[in-house]
Amino acid sequence: MGVEYIFTSCRTALSPSGLPGLNYSLNPYTGCEHGCAYCYSPSVLKDRIIAGSWGKTVRVKRDIAEVLNREVNRKDIGVVGLSTVTDPYQPIEKTLELTRKCIEILSRHDFPVSIQTKSDLVLRDSDLIVPKKFDVGVTITTVNPELACLLEPRASPPDARAQVLESFSSRGVDTWIFLGPIIPETNDDDENLRKIVAIAAKTKSKILYDKLNLKQWVMERLGPVLENLKPGLAERVLTILSRGYDYRNKISSKITSICREMGVRCEAAFGS
């Protein structure tokens, strides 16, 4: 089944952000074609149409660059997170170039930009993404391409994401890895975590790690994927996470210790 695009206009481009290190967020798209099984954006967006067909319906803010062009002249300069709810480099961006137009405007007006993506399409904009003005974060949950395909069906494969980090890091752009969500008995094994930290070490990237967020609609989509991997896994994940603090502590000390060993900076995202 293809993706349905709904073209809309927007009233604002830059929204205030309460996320650490960001002053504003900018999301050219509502909904995300990457369709990750664990994504909790549907609960953040509170958009029933998009949530009910996550990955299959995307609202496109077709005039976001024009709106942004007006806003940058009247808003205080601050760090813009792009994007905070959906992926700014999802497949439709290849054709529409809304993200590209927005970062061009932000850069021209000296707004620092923090990009987070799971797509190597970000490399297309390497001419704009320069040191000091930009940082680039790439989410890597697993180095196993088959598992990535199940969890993040239409995102770039893990090795392509690692290449994004290598490319920007080699040109002096600050890079980071978002290692999350960490799902019990799925991607929390030593081998996987070590390989991801090794990518961070090689590319001088910082690691932000995060737990699985069991927000509304997450298990409806993730549960069947986990069951498909190992029968009974969905139930076990819920049981392990219900112990909350124990599991988070265990994972946190494991990652911290591997990062220390490999000389990588790391911290828990959102105080997880």
* Residue 39 touching ligand SF4 (CB under 6 A): yes
Taking contact as CB under 6 A, which single stretch among the options 10-18, 35-43, 63-71, 166-174 is the one that binds ligand SF4?
35-43
Site for ligand SF4 in 124-163 (CB under 6 A): 152, 155
Shortest approach of ligand SF4 to residue 151 CB, angstroms? 9
* Residue 35 touching ligand SF4 (CB under 6 A): yes
The nearer residue to ligand SF4, 34 or 75, going by C-beta atoms, is 34
SS (H, E, C) the chain: CCCEEEEECCCCCCEECCCCCCCEECCCEECCCCCCCCCCHHHHHCCHHHHHCCCCEEEEECCHHHHHHHHCCCCCCCCEEECCCCCCCCCCHHHHCHHHHHHHHHHHCCCCEEEEECCHHHHHHCCCCCCCCEEEEEECCCCCHHHHHHHCCCCCCHHHHHHHHHHHHHCCCEEEEEEEEECCCCCCCHHHHHHHHHHHHHHCCEEEEEECCCCCCHHHHHHHHHHHHCCCHHHHHHHHHHCCHHHHHHHHHHHHHHHHHHCCCEEEHHHC
* Residue 118 touching ligand SF4 (CB under 6 A): yes
Shortest approach of ligand SF4 to residue 40 CB, angstroms? 8
* Residue 57 touching ligand SF4 (CB under 6 A): no
* Residue 59 touching ligand SF4 (CB under 6 A): no
* Residue 75 touching ligand SF4 (CB under 6 A): no
Shortest approach of ligand SF4 to residue 61 CB, angstroms? 15
* Residue 36 touching ligand SF4 (CB under 6 A): yes
What is the size of the binding site for ligand SF4 (CB under 6 A)? 11
Shortest approach of ligand SF4 to residue 246 CB, angstroms? 26
Alpha carbon 120 to its chain centroid, in Å, reads 12
* Residue 93 touching ligand SF4 (CB under 6 A): no
Q: What is the spatial distance between Cα 229 and Cα 215, in angstroms, rounded to a whole number?
A: 21
Interface residue with ligand SF4, options 32, 105, 148, 264 (CB under 6 A): 32
* Residue 181 touching ligand SF4 (CB under 6 A): no
Binding site for ligand SF4 (CB under 6 A): 32, 34-36, 39, 41, 86-87, 118, 152, 155
